[in-house]
Amino acid sequence: MTKTPVFRGSCTALVTPFTPEGVDYERLGKNLEKQYACGSAAVLVCGTTGEAATLSGDEHNELVRFTVNAVHGRMKVIVGVGGNNTAAALKKAENARAAGADAILMVTPYYNKTTQRGLVKYFQDYAELSTVPVIVYNVPSRTGLNIEPETYGILAEHENIAGIKEANGNISKIAETMDIVGDGLWLYSGNDDQIVPILSLGGVGVISVLSNIAPRETHDMVMSYLDGDVKTALSLQLRYTKLIKYLFSEVNPVPVKAAAAAMGFCENVLRLPLLPMEEAHEKVLLAEMRKQGLLV
């Protein structure tokens, strides 16, 4: 079953700019304009990088509504849902659809983990109820639950399950998955340090943390590869290896929030249990950003 990809290129997993009082919508609007100007094909709102687990239901809904209205069809808008409360996640998915989102990104259940059979039921039920495409998100380092290639093969048979954001870090398993699903699921890298390797396995883009602070560079990396210029894509992947490493030197989104704040995209405000980046780690991160010309 051949499906249409939700997007091709770079999608930014947006940080949520907070103040101590709430969401900073003025800065969010400016960040969205920056993403569009730098070529991003899509944005993800209310994902892990957006501290979705700390958002109230009203904040989640308003973030989606604001983003859809601000983007105004110029980029695809993907909304993070899913989790360990299926009923609540279904409600978020419906609100995203009603607001005009283009797709939903569904993370696997966590804490109350399930079997591979449970995963099939979980994703298929969402896909049946959703009128927008579903991208499955596999991030076992956070959830403690991995989607196996054979499970992807079953999910690929559903017409409304459109793609995979794969962050299991296991290139061999990803290759096995793509051999099974063929063109039944579109593959997106969920790890910035594996963009080019995953593109080489048939990927069509990335859902990226790096592109919060380097949107043009991330766009160029992906599109160079998709346009056949593998040498340029590889050069960019290698060039940003250290920066990507430092962006994950503490739990995401702590480092990227510090980086974005240094660039004026937000305040360095996180919600507990997250705290601002350790000073020693931040110093190394900002030094690499200066080296790459992202900071003066």
Tokens at 29, concatenated: 């609007």
Give kind and range of the element (H or E) at residue 88.
helix 86-99
CA distance from start to end of the chain:
49
- List beta partners, residue 13: 44
Give kind and range of the element (H or E) at residue 79.
strand 76-82
Cα distance between residue 3 and residue 212, in whole Å? 28
Number of other CB atoms surrounding residue 112 within 10 Å: 11
Is 76 catalytic? The answer is: no
Nearest to 262 by CA among 233, 226, 287, 238: 287
Among 76, 165, 188, 225, the one annotated catalytic: 165
User: Identity (one letter) of the amino acid at 55?
Assistant: L
Among 137, 188, 225, 240, the one annotated catalytic: 137
Is 165 catalytic? The answer is: yes
Are the beta carbons of 255 and 242 closer than 8 angstroms? no
Within 13 A of 292's CA, how many CA atoms are on the CB side? Answer: 23
Give kind and range of the element (H or E) at residue 44.
strand 42-45
Nearest to 218 by CA among 133, 141, 294: 294
Are the beta carbons of 106 and 137 closer than 8 angstroms? yes
Are the beta carbons of 117 and 109 closer than 8 angstroms? no
Active site residues per annotation: 137, 165
